[in-house]
């Protein structure tokens, strides 16, 4: 009877704002009933009701009614969440010990180190002894236990546990590698939409990449075809490509830097711990000597906004200035010229709108102090893309020409998200194309390259006619030349050659998972 | 089924160069208009089918009616058909075709001709012929009014790898107005010093 009345009263306090005692913020009180219905009585003062436990201070939880509740867990008491432990204590995991499929964790004295969210590399750097995804993580049972802007996610480990992670955006952290060939673990929380490993080596003469990837279920989702000298059976070019297209996860080691993105197809992504064998390679594909640097990027929630950052090399005096109103294309003109804002950006918006994505912020800047990159050989693309310093969205560089001549655009597939200043931080568009294509066609070309950066493969390859398996890993994409990801231009009767614009639901899904989105 | 669909789509692909003398089948158009990759020799041979690929590429290179998006990769693909062996591309039909293309396009002055010229220049450089005559032909282009043509010429001279180009390049460096071209000359001079010959 009494409990029932209390519940009714509490419900009224929360949802109807019953008058209670009418105390305002700061008034003294002995219970919630002394305060205005929108407030609670905490430490004998009327204060705002809580949404999250950290608003209550150390040693409290926030209940479903918005009232702060004093935690009772003393040192040594078992806990699952930071809010279980009294002030001065934090819920800490004890090594790899497991209790009832959960990590053994108890309330333990706070360490004099970083609070939740502080960058870290080892557990000892965190107040609560838990470092994950490059940041100190508070243990949690539900999102209410975490501070605003964070959600309680299931963190995979030998025994999964609840941890507070940002509710949106992505987490980026370094994974230490100590030898040229090493196995690393990539934890993917349940809330993740996608994950990337960006692997690089300091020696530009060596390649770097993954040799194998095991999914959390133990399925080999990627395997690198070994070169002939690395042991039987060896791989020629065709076998290597067969293997590349057979893998559920598309990846190829590359000079200086490569990116492994999960998922490549529509249905190969699961939370848990991925085991990835990373390696450096000599130019002949034998084992390398360089120690890879590995950065992990996990997209925590769906994004839908793609920011674009345009960079303009010195394009003055280009042969195709008729398409730029006989004036040089640069950062200033691009921001106001109709051909750029309406014809080019407008078409880009149309293409991505059909994929459920929005072109968000755009920025414009000139790159006039690198004349050596104005006309760019593909072999030197890395030098240009390193100038792409933005870490959100995608950097887009306009150069005078690309060599070999005829190449209209170039970029990594996939590109690194969340990392600026790398040899793959952007895409390149050749202004030469405007000598024979419209701004609309150039926009579609750019969209194709952006989509590759975001993880889409060609729906069919040039050599698919000879090798039927050489195509994208997305089950619902067809072979249409109208597809945005068709390997070449095509033309409708009477129209100019151009890139298609269609995307299948599976292709759209991959785009929407991309960690370049916000 | 999918391959049949691909073939069907290919047949529907409109040929962009009406009036062209070159045989532009859909597979050829698709191979040459690959967006972000250079078609391999194998892919080109397959695309041309029963037609000899080198002959098809030459026909496209010669035809001013062909869409530039097709013509530029065709011109650029010619060196892939050089005879194998070090500096083996100094003689033969590919080399002769490329030098004649450079000559022919130099005399034309439309913006699109400038692109064709640059493709031919770059392709001639890719032959790595080592011939002083090729270097001399390219040095003559350092007086072209387009900095893109001059930059392409310097890049090709660097690839030709004839020490005969060192002196004229060094001289031109002092009068070249474009920073882009001057940078290319500096790089070329450094590399040319490593080339064989006196």
pLDDT tens digits in sequence order for chain A, 518 residues long: 344 444 444 444 444 344 457 899 999 999 988 999 889 999 899 999 999 999 999 999 999 999 999 999 999 999 999 999 999 999 999 877 777 777 889 999 988 888 888 999 888 899 888 999 999 999 999 999 999 999 999 999 888 999 999 999 999 999 999 999 999 999 999 999 999 999 999 999 999 999 999 999 999 999 998 655 554 456 787 888 888 998 989 999 999 999 999 998 856 789 999 999 999 999 988 899 999 999 999 999 888 999 999 999 999 999 888 999 999 999 999 999 999 999 999 999 999 999 999 999 999 999 999 999 999 999 999 999 999 999 999 999 999 999 999 999 999 999 999 889 999 999 999 999 999 999 999 999 999 999 999 999 999 988 887 888 888 989 899 889 999 999 999 877 677 888 999 999 999 999 999 999 99
Q: A277, A299, A321 — which closes off a domain?
A: A299
Instruction: Return left, alpha or beta for A336; rule: phi > 0 is left, psi -120 to 50 is alpha, else beta.
Output: alpha
B126 shares its domain with B71: no
- pLDDT tens per residue, range B95-109: 999 999 999 999 888
| Chain B residues touching A493 at Cβ < 8 A | 14
B140 shares its domain with B75: no
The domain total for chain B is: 2
Residue A160 lies in domain: 82-167
- C-alpha B67/C-alpha B15 separation (Å) is 9
The domain total for chain A is: 4
3-state secondary structure A207-253: EEEEEEEECCCCCEEEECCCCHHHCCCCCCHHHHHHHHHHCCCCCCC
- C-alpha A205/C-alpha B198 separation (Å) is 30
B105 shares its domain with B183: yes
The domain spanning residue B144 has which CATH number? 1.25.10
Q: Report the Cα B71 to chain-centroid distance in Å.
A: 10
B69 shares its domain with B165: no
B179 shares its domain with B105: yes
A260 shares its domain with A346: no
> What is the reported pLDDT for A103?
84
| Chain B residues touching A494 at Cβ < 8 A | 14
A243 shares its domain with A347: no
Strands annotated E in A79-146: 89-99, 102-109, 131-132, 135-136
Partner B, chain A 411-450, Cβ-Cβ below 8 Å = 411, 432-433, 435-437, 445, 448-449
- Here the contacts of A54-61 (C-beta below 8 Å, separation 24 or greater) are A54/A146, A54/A147, A54/A148, A57/A87, A58/A87, A58/A88, A59/A85, A59/A86, A59/A87, A59/A88, A59/A89, A61/A144, A61/A145
A364 shares its domain with A437: yes
- Choose the closest CB to A404 out of B10, B35, B76: B76
Q: A167, A190, A212 — which closes off a domain?
A: A167
- Choose the closest CB to B30 out of A371, A480, A488: A488
Q: How distant is the Cα of A281 from the closest Cα of chain B, in angstroms?
A: 23
- A323 close to B (CB below 8 A): no
Q: Report CA Rg, chain A.
A: 27
Place of tokens 């929407």: A512
- C-alpha A238/C-alpha A26 separation (Å) is 75
Q: What share of chain B is helix, strand, coil (3-state, %, to 5)?
A: 70, 0, 30
A395 shares its domain with A489: yes
Mark the ranges of chain B whose per-residue pLDDT is less than 70.
Answer: 1-22, 85-88, 90, 198
Q: In the structure encoding, which two tokens stand for residue A490, read together? A: 């095509």
A123 shares its domain with A231: no
A18 shares its domain with A88: no
B132 shares its domain with B52: no
> What is the reported pLDDT for A192?
94
Element of type H or E holding A382: helix A381-385
B47 shares its domain with B113: no
Half-sphere exposure in the Cβ direction for A350 (13 Å, CA): 14
A365 shares its domain with A475: yes
- B69 close to A (CB below 8 A): yes
On whether residue A118 sits in a domain, the answer given is yes
- C-alpha A503/C-alpha A506 separation (Å) is 8
On whether residue A250 sits in a domain, the answer given is yes
A241, A404, A408, A428: which to substitute to probe chain B, counting the most B Cβ within 10 Å? Answer: A404
In this structure, the number of other CB atoms found within 10 A of the CB of residue A271 comes to: 18
Helix (H, G, I), strand (E, B) or coil at A258: strand
Residues near A31 by Cβ (< 8 Å), separated by ≥ 6?
A: A41
- C-alpha A19/C-alpha A13 separation (Å) is 8
- A249 close to B (CB below 8 A): no
A23 shares its domain with A96: no
Q: In the structure encoding, which two tokens stand for residue A455, read together? A: 């993880």
Please give the interface size between A and B, counted as residue pairs whose CB atoms are below 8 Å apart. Answer: 155
B23 shares its domain with B98: no
Q: In the structure encoding, which two tokens stand for residue A332, read together? A: 């200033």
Interchain pair B30, A462: CB under 8 A: yes
ipTM score for this prediction: 0.89
- C-alpha A457/C-alpha A169 separation (Å) is 24
Q: A146, A167, A188 — which closes off a domain?
A: A167
Place of tokens 């546990």: A161
| Chain B residues touching A496 at Cβ < 8 A | 16
B69 shares its domain with B106: no
B101 shares its domain with B74: no
Give the residues across from A362 on adjacent strands. Answer: A308
A344 shares its domain with A482: yes
Name the burial class of residue A511, with classes exposed (0-12), middle (13-18) and buried (19+) by CB atoms within 10 angstroms of its CB. Answer: buried
**Residues A88 and A151: beta-carbon distance below 8 Å:** no
B98 shares its domain with B41: no
B65, B67, B69: which to substitute to probe chain A, counting the most A Cβ within 10 Å? Answer: B69
**Residues B75 and B123: beta-carbon distance below 8 Å:** yes
A101 shares its domain with A151: yes
Q: B34, B64, B81 — which closes off a domain?
A: B81
Half-sphere exposure in the Cβ direction for B41 (13 Å, CA): 8
Q: B38, B53, B81 — which closes off a domain?
A: B81
- Phi and psi at A197, nearest 5°, equal -120, 125
A217 shares its domain with A188: yes
| Chain A residues touching B34 at Cβ < 8 A | 462, 487-488
Partner B, chain A 183-222, Cβ-Cβ below 8 Å = none
Q: B19, B47, B81 — which closes off a domain?
A: B81
Residue B76 lies in domain: 1-81
On whether residue A204 sits in a domain, the answer given is yes
Interchain pair B180, A405: CB under 8 A: no
Interchain pair B111, A404: CB under 8 A: no
Interchain pair A464, B184: CB under 8 A: no
A384 shares its domain with A509: yes
> What is the reported pLDDT for A438?
95
Instruction: Return left, alpha or beta for A364; rule: phi > 0 is left, psi -120 to 50 is alpha, else beta.
Output: beta
Q: What is the pTM of this model?
A: 0.89
| Chain A residues touching B24 at Cβ < 8 A | none
On whether residue A236 sits in a domain, the answer given is yes
For the CA atoms of A239, A243, A245, A251, the dihedral, rounded to the nearest 10 degrees, stands at -120
Helix (H, G, I), strand (E, B) or coil at A181: strand
- Choose the closest CB to A408 out of B3, B9, B35: B35
What CA–CA distances, in Å, run from B64 to B35, B37, B153?
A: 22, 24, 22
- C-alpha A281/C-alpha A292 separation (Å) is 10
| Chain A residues touching B27 at Cβ < 8 A | 465
Residue of B96, B137, B1, B30 whose CA lies nearest to A500 = B30
Cα dihedral sign for A161, A165, A170, A176? negative
What letter would DSSP give residue A114? B
B134 shares its domain with B175: yes
On whether residue A61 sits in a domain, the answer given is no
Helix (H, G, I), strand (E, B) or coil at B87: coil
Partner A, chain B 90-109, Cβ-Cβ below 8 Å = none
> What is the reported pLDDT for A266?
56
């Amino acid at each position: 009877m009494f409990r029932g009345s209390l519940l009714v009263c509490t419900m009224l306090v929360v949802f109807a704002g019953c008058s209670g005692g009418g105390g305002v913020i700061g008034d003294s009180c002995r219970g919630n009933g002394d305060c205005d219905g929108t407030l609670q009585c905490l430490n004998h003062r009327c204060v705002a009701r809580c949404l999250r436990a950290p608003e209550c201070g150390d040693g409290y939880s926030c209940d479903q009614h918005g009232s702060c509740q004093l935690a009772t867990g003393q040192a040594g008491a078992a806990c699952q969440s930071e809010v279980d432990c009294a002030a001065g204590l934090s819920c800490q995991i004890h090594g790899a010990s497991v209790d009832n499929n959960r990590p053994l964790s108890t309330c333990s004295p706070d360490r004099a180190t970083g609070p939740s969210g502080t960058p870290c590399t080892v557990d000892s750097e965190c107040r609560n002894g838990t470092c994950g995804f490059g940041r100190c993580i508070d243990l949690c049972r539900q999102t209410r236990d975490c501070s605003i802007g964070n959600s309680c996610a299931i963190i995979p480990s030998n025994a999964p546990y609840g941890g507070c992670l940002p509710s949106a955006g992505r987490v980026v952290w370094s994974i230490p590698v100590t030898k040229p060939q090493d196995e690393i673990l990539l934890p993917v929380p349940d809330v993740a939409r996608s994950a990337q490993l960006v692997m690089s080596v300091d020696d530009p003469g060596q390649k770097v990449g993954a040799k194998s990837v095991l999914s959390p279920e133990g399925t080999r989702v990627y395997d690198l075809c070994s070169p002939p000298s690395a042991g039987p059976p060896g791989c020629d070019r065709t076998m290597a490509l067969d293997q590349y297209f057979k893998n559920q996860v598309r990846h190829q080691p590359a000079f200086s830097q490569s990116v492994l993105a999960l998922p490549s197809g529509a249905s190969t992504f699961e939370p848990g711990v991925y085991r990835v064998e990373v390696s450096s390679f000599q130019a002949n594909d034998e084992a390398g000597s360089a120690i890879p640097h590995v950065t992990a990027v996990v997209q925590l929630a769906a994004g839908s906004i793609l920011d674009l950052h345009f960079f303009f090399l010195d394009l003055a005096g280009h042969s195709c200035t008729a398409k730029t109103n006989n004036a040089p294309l640069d950062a200033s003109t691009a921001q106001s010229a109709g051909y750029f804002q309406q014809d080019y950006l407008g078409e880009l918006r149309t293409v991505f709108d059909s994929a459920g994505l929005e072109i968000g912020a755009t920025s414009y800047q000139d790159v006039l102090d690198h004349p050596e990159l104005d006309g760019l050989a593909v072999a030197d693309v890395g030098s240009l893309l390193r100038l792409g310093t933005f870490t959100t969205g995608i950097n887009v560089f306009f150069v005078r020409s690309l060599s070999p001549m005829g190449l209209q655009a170039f970029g990594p597939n996939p590109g690194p998200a969340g990392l600026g200043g790398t040899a793959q931080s952007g895409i390149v568009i050749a202004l030469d194309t405007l000598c024979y294509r419209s701004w609309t066609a150039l926009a579609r070309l750019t969209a194709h390259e952006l989509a590759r950066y975001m993880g889409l493969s060609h729906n069919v390859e040039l050599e698919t006619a000879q090798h039927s398996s050489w195509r994208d890993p997305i089950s619902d994409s067809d072979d249409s030349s109208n597809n945005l990801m068709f390997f070449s231009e095509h033309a409708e009767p009477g129209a100019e050659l151009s890139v298609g614009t269609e995307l299948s639901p599976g292709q759209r899904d991959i785009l929407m998972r991309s960690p370049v989105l916000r | 089924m999918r391959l049949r669909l691909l073939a069907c789509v290919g047949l529907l692909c409109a040929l962009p160069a009406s009036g062209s003398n070159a045989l532009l089948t859909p597979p050829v158009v698709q191979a040459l208009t690959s967006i972000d990759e250079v078609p391999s020799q194998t892919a080109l041979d397959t695309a041309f089918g029963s037609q000899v690929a080198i002959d098809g590429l030459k026909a496209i290179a010669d035809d001013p009616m062909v869409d530039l998006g097709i013509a530029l990769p065709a011109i650029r693909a010619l060196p892939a058909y050089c005879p194998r062996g070090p500096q083996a591309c100094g003689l033969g039909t590919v080399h002769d075709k490329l030098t004649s293309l450079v000559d022919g396009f130099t005399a034309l002055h439309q913006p699109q001709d400038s692109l064709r010229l640059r493709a031919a220049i770059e392709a001639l450089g890719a032959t790595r012929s080592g011939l002083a005559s090729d270097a001399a032909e390219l040095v003559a282009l350092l007086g072209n009014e387009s900095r893109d043509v001059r930059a392409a010429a310097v890049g090709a001279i660097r690839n030709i790898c004839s020490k005969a180009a060192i002196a004229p390049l060094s001289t031109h460096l002092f009068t070249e107005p474009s920073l882009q071209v001057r940078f290319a000359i500096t790089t070329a001079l450094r590399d040319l010093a490593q080339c064989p010959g006196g």
